[in-house]
Amino acid sequence: MVNASGFSKYIEGIFKVCKTDSILIINKWGMLERRLCPFIVIVVKDVPPLNKGEIVWATAVKMSLELIDVYIVQNRAYNYYNFILYFE
């Protein structure tokens, strides 16, 4: 089990690389790429008031207390796994 000090250091390490205005992805060439907010996502399952198949904007990226990425969509927080990234 990680103590509070170790947990804080872990979070600090994450936020040295990850920001709330972007996400990091691996592009089709296998290269690390930063996608800045806002970015387009597609809803993959109903999460009211959003419906499966809707195309929406993620305006920010946060992290839950459980260390799960959360997208801010229409001023509400949703876990990242409710969406897939939209690529043009």
Q: What is the pTM of this model?
A: 0.81
Encode pLDDT of 27-83 as tens digits: 889 999 999 999 999 999 999 999 999 999 999 999 888 889 999 999 999 999 999
For residue 83 the two structure tokens come to 């969406």
pLDDT-derived band at 1 (thresholds 50, 70, 90) equals: low
**What is the tally of structural domains in the chain?**
1
Euclidean distance between CA atoms 42 and 40, whole angstroms: 7
Query: Could you list the residue range(s) of the whole structural domain that residue 49 is in?
Result: 4-85
Measured from the Cβ of residue 46, the count of other Cβ atoms closer than 10 Å reads 12
User: Which pLDDT score, from 0 to 100, does residue 38 have?
Assistant: 97
User: Which pLDDT score, from 0 to 100, does residue 42 have?
Assistant: 98
User: Which pLDDT score, from 0 to 100, does residue 64 have?
Assistant: 86
